[in-house]
Structure formats: structure tokens, C-alpha cells
Amino acid sequence: MMMCKEATRLMSLKLDRRLTFQERLSLRLHLMMCDACRRCDEQFTLLHGIGQRFEAALDDRTPPERRD
């Protein structure tokens, strides 16, 4: 049975490369049972979106119709 520390490794990895079927399965099973790891997964995902937010904030002054 996979433990939390290993689960965080896979949560991190899935943001950088495609997980194998086996990896996806183990991670999903662990997340189903572990609240703390589900929240960690949310936190990693939030951090992963931080660059886009930074950039979006730059363009706040641009008229919406000109945004790409």
C-alpha cells in the first residue's frame, strides 16, 4: 500500500509528465482514502497555476477584447 510521502511524489510528477497507468491507479486509490493528500494535491495544483495568475494580473489593464 502506497504511503502519503510517495503519493505526494506522484502528485508532483503528474504536473510535469504523464503518469503511467500503474502510477495513476495507485495515486487515485490513495487519494480516495486520504483527505490530507487530497488537500495536498489541491495545493500543488494551485502552485502549478501560479505563473498564469501572475501573467493574467499583468494584463488587467488591457481591455478585455484585446486579451488572447
Partner 1 sequence: MTDETIRQGDDGMTESARRMARLTAVRPRLLSFARLHLRDNALAEDAVQEALMAAIEKDASFAGRSGYETWVFGILKYKILDTLRVQKRQGRWQPLDDESDDDAIDRQFQQNGRWQDDARPGNWGEPDVTFENEHFWQVFDACMTALPDNIARVFSLRELMGLSTEEICQEIGIKENNCWVILHRARLRLRACLEKRWLKEETI
What's the half-sphere exposure (Cβ side, CA atoms, 13 Å) at 58?
Answer: 7
In terms of residues, how long is the chain?
Answer: 68
Which residues are at the interface with partner 1 (CB under 8 A)?
A: 3-6, 8-9, 12-13, 15-17, 36-37, 39-40, 42-44, 46-51, 53-55, 57-59, 61-62, 66-68
Residue 66: DSSP 8-state: G
Q: Which is nearer to partner 1, 29 or 46 (CB)?
A: 46
Q: How far is the CB of 21 from partner 1 (least distance, A)?
A: 18
CB atoms within 10 A of CB 18: 9
Q: Which is nearer to partner 1, 5 or 21 (CB)?
A: 5
